[in-house]
Structure 1
């Protein structure tokens, strides 16, 4: 009879708040294969952003016993909806970007996930089969994860990518010496700001910059992308995000004084 490593199972329970988000998946077989990959590693939360064909018999066939994940999958209209309540968003990217962004490998990603405050919602975001995530979608992520592969043929099927990331998370959680430290070295006094709260902050920030003629909305260049990168890299908590919103509101108030 197989024995269960209680400590390992307790460690893995820390990953209950991780969801896999698949964006605009075109082939339903990839959804089913991803569900199977998730279930083998103990993950349950699948979110689909505008899948082309779902539900689907093909997805069910490829899930091979993981149909419960398909039945419970959440289908949403936008990436913003999929990650709104997440404190950490990691975007999978197979290629470098013009604007550098924090980049980790799967093992480093797993350690970052495990170091998040307890109960934080976390999203692993994967894009389209042919083109991956867009630059705008990747700009919504705190960091990007790249799976080291053969440089002469680095294209990885999206379900295979899910398997690699899920495996690294499970192995890190089950490692006998895995004692992740809090993200900033000490327990934090406030929960991290969610992606939805930060998105509201960015929209407010952009409007204020336009109002004070610091940002030309017709020629924005990379200004707001760099503001996003700065704030996402800092990972503010809810109170810090509210302080920034309060500052912006006060600027609004003064701009509107007669």
Structure 2
């Protein structure tokens, strides 16, 4: 039995007006993988042109909780039927054309998809696993999408190509939201100063306590000579201040220093034989 669908809001406005079209898919597992890629990015409108096998257990197994996308999928007999009610058709292609055609990167294509919100259906067409879209099929597309892969190994699995496009469509949507600059899905979390970090940043006082503790410990094990300090503590200060530790991290570091001091004062007692106080991390 296939896995039941996981809850989803399909939160993009593009969930319905963007139609992912797969041409004559040979391996039904790829259909399931595409459904998963679509649901990951909030899309849910899948159209299958003459799939070799669908529906089947393999496609649902590969969907991994995106079975609702497969349940909604429409199966048609031709590309004409798949795109007849669309106002924009974009086809993915890895090959150059003798006759130049409008070509976009996935990012630019996603931007154009966003421009069509409220104007009608947009189809993004993906080719067969072995040979992509035919020249005739590509000529039915207003625009070609080229994913700039490694030219020495340019072949993408169809589900990977769908994931790239669905990701770009989602990112375009998130960037277009009101107050997108504060959207937590777009903001990086790099340090305790960033929203979403679990522990507040260490204060200046806490860091100074750590530096004093560090200097005492290094002096106690004869690694640091106070009468000839050179630049050791300056460089260590620069290192730890560059790391921007949070309060828990400073507590952990000071716990390590305390253990080193205890071990240095009683070399005959191994740390492993002592009952150590541990900070809940």
TM-score clears 0.5: yes
Q: How does 1:2-17 map to 2 (within 5 A)?
A: 12-14=12-14, 16-17=16-17
Task: Give the Cα separation in 2 of the matches to 1:169 and 1:115.
Answer: 11
d(CA) in 2 for partners of 1:113, 1:80: 20
CA contact (8 A) 1:12 1:174 kept: no
CA distance in 2, matches of 1:136, 1:16: 26
Asked if 1 retains the 8 angstrom alpha-carbon contact of 2:110 and 2:168, the reply is yes
RMSD over equivalenced CA pairs, Å: 2.0
Structure 2 SS opposite 1:87? strand
Deviation of the 1:114 alpha carbon? 1.0
Q: Residue 11 and residue 51 in structure 1: after superposition, are their counterparts in 2 closer, same or farther (change >3 A)? A: closer
Highest Rg: 1 or 2?
Answer: 2
Q: Does the 8 A contact of 1:15 with 1:114 survive in 2?
A: no
- Describe the superposition over 1:155-201 as per-residue Cα deviations: whole angstroms up to 9, x where unpaired: 0000000000000000011115789xxxxxxxxxxxxxxxxxxxxxx
Q: How many residues are matched?
A: 171
Q: 1:14 to 1:27 in 2, by over 3 A?
A: closer
Divergent runs of 4+, >2 A: 9-12, 176-179
Partner of 2:147: 147
How far residue 13 of structure 1 moved from its aligned partner, in angstroms, is 1.5
The answer for the alignment partner of 1:88 in structure 2 is: 88
Aligned to 2:236: none
Change (3 A) 1:17 1:60: same
Distance 2:178 2:111 in 1: 9
SS in 1 for 2:100: coil
Tell me, yes or no, if the aligned pair for 2:36 and 2:66 is still in contact at 8 Å. Answer: yes
Q: By how many angstroms is 1:100 displaced?
A: 1.1
TM-score normalised per structure 1: 0.63
Change (3 A) 1:34 1:11: closer
- Structure 1 residue 10: deviation in Å? 11
CA shift, 1:11, in A, is 8.9
**Do structure 1's residue 68 and structure 2's residue 56 form an aligned pair?**
no
Bigger shift: 60-69 or 9-18? 9-18
Residues 99-121 of structure 1 deviation map (CA, whole Å, 9 limit, x = unaligned): 11100000000111111251410
Alignment partner, residue 53 of structure 2: 53
Instruction: Please say which of residues 89-98 and 75-84 is displaced more in the overlay.
Output: 89-98
C-alpha change, 1:97 and 1:85, in structure 2 (3 Å) is same
Measured in 2, the distance between the counterparts of 1:98 and 1:137 equals: 15
Q: CA deviation at 1:16?
A: 3.2
Q: 1:172 to 1:117 in 2, by over 3 A?
A: closer
Structure ranking higher on relative contact order (CA contacts 8 Å, 6+ apart): 1
5+ residue gaps, structure 2, are: 1-8, 180-281
Encode CA deviations 1:19-42: one digit per residue, 9 max, x unaligned: 100000000000000000000001
Gaps of 5+ in 1: 1-8, 180-258
